[in-house]
Amino acid sequence: MSQPVLTMEGISKEFPGVKALSDVNFELYPGEVHALMGENGAGKSTLMKVLSGVYEPTAGTIRLKGQEVAFGNPLEAQRQGVSIIHQEFNLFTNLSAAENIYIDRPEMVGRFGRIQWSKMYEEAQQLVDSIGGSGIDVRQEVRHLGVHSQQVVEIAKALSFRADVLIMDEPSAALPENEVKKMFDVVKRLRDQGVAIVYVSHRMKEIFEIADKVTVLRDGAWIDTRPIGEVTEQQLIYMMVGKEVSKLYPDRDHKPGGEVMLEVQSLSLDATHEVSFQLHKGEILGLFGIPGSGTHTIAERLFGLKGGAGDIIVGGMPAVIRNPGDAKARRIAYVPPDRHRQGIIKPMSIRQNLSLPILPRLSKGVVIDESRVREMSSEYMESLRIKAPNDRQSVDYLSGGNQQKVVIGKWLATHPDILILEEPTRGVDVGAKAEIYAIINRLAQEGLSILLISSEMPEVIGLSDRILVLHKGEIVHEFAHGEADQEQLLQRASHPLTEGGRL
Amino acid sequence: MKRLLNMHEAPIIIFTIIVTLAFSLYSSGFFGIDNLQMILDQNISMFIVAIGMTMVILLGGIDLSVGSVLAVTATSVGLFLSHGIHPWVAALMGIGIGVLCGMVNGFFIAYVKIPDIIVTLATMYIFRGIAVGISGGTWMTNFPAGFRFFGQGTLFGLSFPLLVAIVLIAIFIYGLKFSRFGRRIYAIGGNGPAAKLAGISVAKSKFKVYVLSGLLVGIAAVIFASKVGSVQASTAGNSLAFEVMAAVLIGGGSIFGGIGTIAGTMLGVLFMGIIKNGLIISKVSPFWVDATTGFLIILAISINTLQRYRQNKGKEGDLV
Amino acid sequence: MNAWTSRLSLRSNTLLVQLIVLFFILVLFSILSPYFLSVSNFMNVFNQMVEIGLIAIPMTMIIISGAMDLSVGSMLAFSAVCMGVAFEQGLNIWICVAIGLIAGMLCGALNGYLIARHRMQAIVVTIGMLVMLRGLVYVINEGRPISGFPDGFYFLGQQYIGVVPFNAIVLMIMFLLAHFFMKKTRFSTYIYGIGNNEEVVRYSGISVVRVRFILFVLSGFFSALAGVFLVSRLASAEATSGTNIELDVITATLIGGTHIFGGRGSLAGTFVGLLIIVFLRNGLNLMGVSVLYQAVILGALLLLAVGNQKFNGA
């Protein structure tokens, strides 16, 4: 075998109080797609940030083409041939594709400091064409391009630095299903050109399709590196989680009641797609679909964050929900997917965060009744086991799991009939995950109707009474409890028409 | 056609045509070469200041202090002249003071990292106070004949200030399109963090832009002083910042940065000039001019927000 | 509700620093000017600070919510002139006062409608209003002052109760009410919440649009109220009233520790900031420093206050 283009040896990275990486080894060969897997918080992104020059490692060495290197910043890494493509693109949407690729590059500056636009357009077009983006006009402003084309521009930018190593962080997350294929074609083309690709993803199916090797991290430590042909999905999951998956999920021993708590009729998701379904009392209804399938939009519609046509019937009564306030009044609660942006106000105390949605109820007139707030907050601190010295601590200092419990708590405090949970365990460690699952299960047993939207298949399978699978804005299949496994679920979500047909 | 309508300059072109037609119908004296020349002539300083403001707004910033910088510069030039300094030297020194003011703004905004609105709000008062202070509160007048050239002279049969403005506009249009510095402005305004990742020094570019803005205001101030023939420190350029801001926004610039062109801004200035001129010719109260400027700012931000909204709406169509 | 327990020590420290600055200014001018340290001068200062103080109340809330209102001075003048013009039409003075207040609230409502409902940039919208309203003020009364109000009206701005000016008592009551409001009501939690993370407040089922709208209407109301008191104090409604008042108000607010990016601040701090500014201005006045030089000093103070916030690692 040829020489590795990149070796990372004994990489450790410590932050104050946390050891994010300890003694990680990683080798990368030219012309291979190397998947990097691990749960949230396993250290994947830290490792990639060390590699791409964002962080400096506390210990360990990085060798690029045999030379020991230390990148001070991402640009330096890029110049030396290591480029990273983030989940969220770093593009100038107001500029042309060509300029995005060659922004501020001396080689595009001619005599008297004049930028050579024709040269730039020409080379950019060549570069984009060479990775299969010939449909893209590089003179167009990026904001007029689709997501896949924007990704191609990002890749072209990386290649313009003659990248030997290309890191792709969840490259399919932003892409609609039909464009993932195109992205794979681009990746394969790059691989054939001898570029070494680090492919960071959660998606098993993709990894088995595109990767040559896989490395698994867990709790900041290297677990194993294997050729993809020598592992099974089950083994990978085991490596990532470190214990049997099923242990995470509580036993479901209750039967949801027959009463329909929520009925959705012809709820429009966009101009052409609408869905209808029912949610029963005490039921956990899982909604599964890959990004772009419309699960997130269902939550937004039900919670009044997005307008549109269709009927929402709550507890037998038609409900008009134009904003989150309306939804709250209908006893619908929503734990949003991004707790940092949508769930918690960081500098505020646990108590304030918990009481935020129900302040009117905790007030006498307009004046907040402090004793009632205290009572309420200690009640939820206790029942959800939020670990903090006291409830006046600002939520900023809590762990991810405890922050998530605060978000759940603030919505339980509204005494909802219907709880929409979206990605309830994103960025939460395994221990807290199990706790949150237990809470969800308990709530359902107490009669709460739960709509569970998650991209983590084991979670959906382990918790739900029923699962609705969405694909491109349509419900394509329904699984009863115990019927689904990951393979089937993913298959329904990705290729709805090949087998089984529609619901 | 659709592409034409999507252009950020589209509204301003349409407005200009409508307003021109309206005033032409209303007043016979409006539509003519003489009047057009007068409009250009009256707004020379604004054209020049607006170049700088375009760059500032492209960065996503705002500069409220330009009027006060104009006052300081014009007053200083008056002071230099009254001490018998040669008009050309006085003009250059004045421009130097404009640059200095720009450096003060740039330093606090780019390096101390205080929000531009606060810095320029503060310097708006500081520079104005200094202007009044050095003028002693009196009118600066009695400029020597040689100084009149900057505002009223002709070169190659063309008005000198107009020539200066045209040259500056050409230089900066070229610079924004063809220099790294110009492209960096667009990059920073479009996506600051990405610009930083691309190795662009955001602070340095910001500083330079404010210095250039100061330089341009300095030039405008010399022309202004020469043209008017007198300077009152407490009122010179009083509403300049607001008018120029309105011109940039109405000329298709986005207050969020990254979008806009000098050509569009120049149309915006022309539009403002036409409105002012038309209002005066139509003999309504001159006080309406200010009210209209304010209204135009609100109109411009409304259009701005609408365009941004339309753009984002395209994305919301996705199911993600 | 004790919102900021974890920051209590830090906050009381900044308040302490502000108090020390205030004390320093008081001592300095007492030494520099023989007229400074006297009951009558202090009462005079209190009498004159009312307009700035009234506007500083909603300004503090607006800046905490992460926005800014630059149109306060023009709203003040607009309300004052509306009131004056109505009076000239022969209406009862108190009806005119009501008209002035309503005019201010309508201006604030327009600000609020554009900023809250349509998410336009507060700075640009309020700059537009600043310019437009000031223009309208001149259009309405053609730049001449309106005076000749009845004696009963001058009570508001000129009457002293004992040694204390009546309007200063009103200001004090307003500050106490607002302080209570910002400590104890849920509306204040929403304001701090919006300043820290608007999305979370929206996702909590609270109408951010309504909160923001109310804040700008409040700003219009208080600006108008300031206009009424100013007209009463100066016995004349003028087109230039309230010019540049936003500088004093914003400086007082920011010196008072309210953070320029929102989320943090207090009315107690603003009150101390207010005292710093008015005593500074008074002292400079007594020493014969011109108003425009005072603006220079205030501008510098504003830069210092915000620059300091940045250095505090905020």
- Model confidence pLDDT, tens digit, residues A148-172: 888 889 888 888 888 899 999 888 8
* Higher per-residue pLDDT: C190 or C308: C190
Determine contact, residues C146/C85, Cβ cutoff 8 Å: yes
Please classify residue C286 by burial: count the beta carbons closer than 10 Å to its beta carbon, then call 0-12 exposed, 13-18 middle and 19+ buried: middle
Q: Do A115 and B178 touch (CB under 8 A)?
A: yes
- Tokens for B144? 């020597």
Cα A332–chain centre separation: 24
**Least confident stretch, A25-39, B157-171, B283-297, C9-23:** C9-23
Take residue A257 and report the two structure tokens written for it.
């009641």
Using beta carbons and an 8 Å cutoff, which residues of C are at the interface with B? 68, 70, 114, 118-121, 123-125, 127-136, 138-139, 142-143, 244, 246-247, 250, 254, 260-261, 290, 292-296, 298-300, 302-303, 306-307, 310
- The pTM of this model reads 0.87
Which residues of chain B are within 8 Å of residue A74 when distances are taken between CB atoms? Answer: 197
| One-letter amino acid of A6 | L
Closest partner CB to B319 (pick from A91, A99, A473): A473
Q: Could you give the CA distance from residue B6 to residue B17 in angstroms, rounded to a whole number? A: 18
- Contacts of residue B195, defined as CB under 8 A and 6 or more positions apart, other chains included, come to A92, A103, B184, B187, B188, B202
Give the residue with greater pLDDT, C276 vs A398.
Answer: C276
**Lowest-confidence region among A15-24, A159-168, B234-243:** A15-24
Please answer whether residues A248 and A433 qualify as being in contact, where contact means their C-beta atoms are separated by less than 8 angstroms: yes
Q: Could you tell me the pLDDT band of residue B16, with boundaries at 50, 70 and 90?
A: confident
Give the phi and the psi of residue A143 in degrees, each rounded to 5: -65, -15
CB spacing of A341 vs C2 below 8 angstroms: no
Dihedral angle over CA of C49, C50, C55, C59, nearest 10: 50
Spatial separation of the C-alpha atoms in residues A204 and B160, rounded to whole Å: 71
pLDDT for residue B132 is more than 50: yes
Mean pLDDT for chain A? 86
Distances (CA, A) of B194 to A45, A77, B58, C79, C260: 19, 15, 16, 46, 25
Residues of C in contact with B298 (CB under 8 A): 114, 125, 128-129, 132
* CA gap B49, B69 in Å, rounded: 10
In this complex, the residue of C136, C293, C310 whose CB is nearest that of residue B133 is C293
| Closest-CA residue to C59 (of C220, C282, C240) | C220
- A242 falls in which pLDDT band (50, 70, 90)? low
Q: Which residues pair with A316 in a beta bridge?
A: none
Mean pLDDT over B203-230 rounds to 92
Chain C residues touching residue B313 (CB < 8 angstroms) = none
Whether residue B251 contacts residue B300, with contact meaning beta carbons closer than 8 Å, is answered with no
Among candidate residues A137, A161, A341, A74, the one with its CA nearest the CA of residue B194? A74
Helices of type H across C159-266:
166-184, 186-203, 208-234, 245-255
B289-304 average pLDDT score: 84
User: Contact A341/C184, CB-based, under 8 Å?
Assistant: no
Contact A349, A391 (CB under 8 A): yes
Most confident of A97-101, B205-209, B257-261: B205-209
CB contact (8 A) between residue A99 and residue B191: no
Percent of chain C with pLDDT over 70: 94
* Per-residue burial over A169-208, b = 16 or more CB atoms within 10 Å of its CB, e = otherwise: bbbbbbbbbebbebbbebbeebbeeebbbbbbbbbbbbbb
Average pLDDT over residues C256-268: 90
The alpha-carbon gap from B45 to the nearest alpha carbon of chain A, in Å, equals 28
CB B108 within 8 A of CB B114: yes
Task: Identify the three-state secondary structure at position A5.
Answer: coil
Report residue A428 as tokens.
Answer: 């939460």
- Nearest by CB: A104 against B177, B189, B200: B200
* A165 close to A47: Cβ distance less than 8 angstroms: no
**Residues of chain A neighbouring C199 (CB-CB closer than 8 A):** 341-342
What's residue A289's pLDDT? 85
**B210 and B119 in contact (C-beta within 8 Å)?**
no
- Cα separations in angstroms, B17 against A412, A481, B10, B14, B275: 59, 67, 11, 5, 12
Name the percent of chain C lying above pLDDT 90: 55
Number of Cβ pairs < 8 A linking chain A and chain B:
77
Chain B nearest-CA distance from C290, in A, is 9
pLDDT score, position B104: 95
How many whole angstroms separate alpha carbon A129 and alpha carbon A123? 10
Q: What stretch of H or E contains A79?
A: helix A74-79
Complete edge-to-edge strand list for the sheet that includes strand A82-85: A82-85, A165-169, A196-200, A33-37, A213-218, A221-227
Residue C207 is predicted with a pLDDT of 93
* Rounded-to-integer distance, Cα C254 and Cα C298, Å: 12
The pair of structure tokens assigned to B26 is 């209303």
In order of A132, A211, B195, C186, the CA distances from A356 in angstroms are 50, 46, 37, 9
**Contact between C299 and B290 using a beta-carbon 8 Å cutoff:** no
Task: Specify which of A233-237, B27-31, B209-213 reaches the highest per-range mean pLDDT.
Answer: B209-213
> A141 phi and psi, to 5 degrees?
-70, 140
Rounded Cα gap, residues A136 and A151, in angstroms: 11
Q: Is A24 helix (H, G, I), strand (E, B) or coil?
A: strand
Residues 6+ apart with CB under 8 A from B48: B164, B165, B168, B216, B217, B219, B220, B223
Partner residue opposite C292 with nearest CB, options B132, B255, B304 = B132
> What does the pLDDT read at residue A113?
85
H helical segments located in chain B: 2-6, 10-26, 33-42, 44-58, 66-82, 87-106, 116-135, 149-152, 160-178, 180-190, 192-197, 202-228, 240-250, 262-281, 288-316
All domains of chain A, ordered by start, with CATH?
A: 6-241 (3.40.50.300), 250-331+417-503 (3.40.50.300), 346-415 (no CATH)
Averaged over C239-266, what is the pLDDT?
90
Largest Cα separation within chain A, whole Å, is 78
- Give the per-residue pLDDT at A247: 61
| pLDDT tens digit sequence for A360-390 | 999 988 899 999 999 999 999 999 988 888 8
Give contacts of B184 with chain A, Cβ < 8 Å: 104
Strands B158-159 and A466-471: unpaired
Nearest chain A residue to C264 by CA distance is A347
Lowest-confidence pick of A39-43, A273-277, A437-441, C115-119: A39-43
| Nearest by Cα to C51 from C219, C275, C228, C298 | C228
Q: Which of A136, A176, A141 is nearest to A155 (CA)?
A: A136
Q: Is B199 left (phi over 0), alpha (psi -120 to 50) or beta?
A: left
**What gap in Å lies between CA C110 and CA C90, rounded to an integer?**
28
What pLDDT shows up at residue A238? 76
- With a cut of 60, say whether residue C26 has pLDDT above it: yes
Decide: C78 and C129 in contact? Cβ < 8 Å: no
A92–B259 CB contact, under 8 Å: no
Q: Choose the weakest-confidence range: A112-126, A281-295, B31-45.
A: B31-45
Nearest CA in chain A to C314: A347
Report CB contact under 8 Å: C184, A359: no
Q: Does residue A325 have a pLDDT over 90?
A: yes
Q: A157 or B319: which carries more pLDDT confidence?
A: A157
Q: Residue A503 — very low, low, confident or very high, per pLDDT cuts 50/70/90? A: very low
Mean pLDDT of all residues in A176-182? 75
Torsions phi, psi of A63, nearest 5?
A: -115, 130
Percent of chain A, pLDDT > 70? 93
| pLDDT classification of C313: cutoffs 50, 70, 90 | very low
Q: Please tell me the distance from the alpha carbon of residue A464 to that of residue A480, in angstroms, as a whole number.
A: 9
Lowest-confidence range among A73-82, A177-186, A204-213? A177-186
Q: How far is A327 from chain C (nearest CA, A)?
A: 7
Distance between CA B32 and CA B42 in Å, rounded? 15
Beta bridge partners of A422: A453
Q: What is the pLDDT of residue C8?
A: 41
